[in-house]
């Protein structure tokens, strides 16, 4: 076998391997296989047609929501909700009526989640009249929530329930996720 013939056989084998040669009993595709996002040739399907791979799904960035949350006896505070669950559609301040109707849950814990409807939840916590900011971080899958109350001047005016109402894209768990008060 000559070197030229060996070279032609190697080239034919490489061309067949990348899908540019006719499939047995078929015809050659009219163009080269499409490239994947990485630039590598896409896998071929029987018959010589190029299959397009699905591009990788980027990790979702946490969504941020900012609201002015009122309290029963205090001035409104800035609340930032960091949604790592990807489920939150909207956030608003809880009304005084909502806070008063559900502040009994604060006798067992400094913060809690109360299901108000299929896709609506109240996150309520014990604040002070001197609060200025709070951040609520919602974990993926609504596994938990962390509430961080911002710095405020020394204050002995405790007993001021604060809260936000969250609307989600799926059902709120009936018992709600646990809420941990971190720092403060």
pLDDT of residue 72: 63
pLDDT of residue 127: 84
Residue whose token pair is 């609201």: 67
Is the distance from CB of 114 to CB of 174 less than 8 angstroms? no
Is the distance from CB of 99 to CB of 159 less than 8 angstroms? no
Strand residues in 23-119 grouped as ranges (E): 63-69, 77-83, 88-93, 111-117
pLDDT of residue 155: 73
pLDDT of residue 64: 95
Per-residue pLDDT tens listing for the chain (184 residues): 555 544 444 444 433 443 444 434 433 333 333 333 344 444 444 444 444 444 444 456 789 999 999 876 667 899 999 999 999 999 999 998 999 999 899 988 999 999 999 999 999 998 887 888 999 999 998 899 999 988 877 776 667 889 999 999 988 888 888 999 987 5
How far is the C-alpha of 96 from the C-alpha of 181, rounded, in Å? 22
For residue 114, CA distances in Å to 7, 111, 164 come to: 74, 10, 11
CA atoms within 13 A on the CB side of 168: 23
């Amino acid at each position: 076998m000559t070197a030229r013939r060996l070279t032609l056989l190697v080239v034919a084998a490489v061309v067949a391997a990348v899908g540019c040669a006719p499939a047995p009993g078929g015809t050659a595709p009219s163009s080269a296989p499409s490239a994947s996002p990485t630039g590598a040739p896409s896998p071929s399907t029987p018959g010589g047609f190029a299959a397009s791979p699905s591009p990788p799904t980027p990790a979702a960035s946490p969504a941020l929501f900012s609201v002015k949350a009122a309290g029963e006896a205090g001035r409104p505070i800035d609340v930032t909700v960091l949604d790592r669950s990807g489920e939150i559609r909207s956030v608003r301040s809880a009304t005084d009526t909502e806070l008063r109707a559900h502040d009994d849950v604060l006798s067992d814990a400094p913060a809690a989640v109360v299901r108000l409807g299929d896709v609506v939840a109240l996150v309520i916590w014990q604040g002070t009249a001197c609060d200025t900011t709070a951040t609520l971080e919602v974990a993926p899958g609504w596994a938990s929530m962390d509430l961080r109350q911002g710095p405020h001047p020394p204050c002995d005016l405790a007993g001021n329930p604060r809260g936000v109402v969250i609307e989600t894209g799926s059902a709120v768990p009936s018992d709600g996720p646990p809420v941990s008060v971190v720092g403060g």
